Amino acid sequence: MRNFDQYTKKRLRRYYELLRQRAERIRDHKVASIQAAHPDIIELESLIIQAGVAQVKNKIGQNYNSSEHDLESLEQKLSDLLRANDIPANYREPEYNCQICFDRGWVNNDYCVCVDQALIEINQQDSLYLPPADQNFNNFDLEVFSDQKNPVFFQGNLSPREAMRGLRAIAKKYTEDFQQKPDNLFLFGTTGTGKTFLMSCIANELKEQGVNLVFIKAVRLFELMAQRRTLLNSFSPDPEEQDAVKRRIDLINKTELLCIDDVGLEAKGLLNTYSDFIVLLDERYNSGLPVIMTSNLKPIQLGEDYDERIQSRITGDYQLLMFEGPDTRSKTARGKMEQDEN
């Protein structure tokens, strides 16, 4: 059976409660409008109830033959009347989203399959850790990247634009294959070469597919881990703070896809949390849950500057995507000015 922290359980309960209330409210409106338009239906329904009561009393030997109508023929009449008016026979039943658990989220002593969708929506409601919405494949402009080959970039074999065209194709393929083949990606290169943009494109595309994901700056992730350590070592931690941190770390641990932006830019003071980071990567790897990271450091530099264990995991378990080129953040403005002059 799946288990969630108290906060998530509470949120799930609330989520399903609202879902049921909504379905029941819609049903109430529908019933009221049908009854207003078809008094004959109400009349037939009440006759059926009376006939049903009479039938039961007859069966148990109290000869209570008050109803002149036969139950079966009344039911037939009602069903004909409903069909003639295009009203479903079960119009008094709320239309629940989920036909398995009837929006209870719970069936046969376990969470229903619809709980995954509920969690996505809850996380989105929290609007924590989502990729920048405007960074998506539709807004992807290859023109931003230089079409000049330069021996400094890709050994002069590819212009940054050609390279980016290839990287974009890889990223698109990744989103198409994600459900069958969720790989780990490591996007690395200097500032302004489009790493974060491409990771955001992937994340937004997968979010559209309903993938439950977390998109977080490495600095923020490391702060959270440091905060958890501090709380663990504290004699009387604030239970609310503890719960909030646990909740966030759980979300990061268990989310279907974890996107970490700018690994390697964290303050060196948080270095001791690198072992927590390795535990996180290993747990996700062992659970088959993918990670995408961007970094301004090559894997070997991560090993030298931070921790060799991170380097070995990245070179072993990640598809490496290299970004090279001039910084587009400063070049975009200049390029635009040149265009304006022409």
Q: Is 12 in the site for Zn ion (CB under 5 A)?
A: no
Of 202-261, binders to Zn ion (CB under 5 A) are none
Closest to 89 measured CA to CA, from 99, 100, 76, 102: 76
Q: Find the largest Cα–Cα distance for the chain.
A: 103
What's the min distance (Å) between Cβ of 23 and Zn ion?
12
Nearer to Zn ion, 15 or 129 (CB): 15
Nearer to Zn ion, 99 or 342 (CB): 99
Nearer to Zn ion, 114 or 259 (CB): 114
- Per-residue binder mask for Zn ion (CB under 5 A), 109-148, x = binder: ---x-x----------------------------------
What's the min distance (Å) between Cβ of 12 and Zn ion?
11
Nearer to Zn ion, 175 or 212 (CB): 212
What's the min distance (Å) between Cβ of 80 and Zn ion?
34
Phi, psi of 150 (to 5 degrees): -145, 130
- Per-residue binder mask for Zn ion (CB under 5 A), 83-102, x = binder: ---------------x-xx-
What's the min distance (Å) between Cβ of 112 and Zn ion?
3
Q: What is the DSSP string of 141-179?
A: -GGGS-----TTSGGGSS-HHHHHHHHHHHHHHHHHHTT
DSSP 261: E
What's the min distance (Å) between Cβ of 114 and Zn ion?
3
Cα angle at 111 between 110 and 117, to 5 degrees? 165
Nearer to Zn ion, 100 or 320 (CB): 100
Binding part of the chain for Zn ion, among 106-114, 161-169, 215-223, 311-319 by CB under 5 A, reads 106-114
Query: What Rg value do the Cα atoms of the chain yield, rounded?
Result: 30
Report the C-alpha gap between 281 and 138 in whole angstroms. Answer: 31
What's the min distance (Å) between Cβ of 117 and Zn ion?
9
What's the min distance (Å) between Cβ of 13 and Zn ion?
14
Report the C-alpha gap between 222 and 46 in whole angstroms. Answer: 66
Report the C-alpha gap between 48 and 312 in whole angstroms. Answer: 74
Phi-psi region of 274 (alpha: psi -120 to 50; beta: other; left: phi over 0): alpha
Nearer to Zn ion, 101 or 245 (CB): 101
Q: Which residues bind Zn ion (CB under 5 A)?
A: 98, 100-101, 112, 114
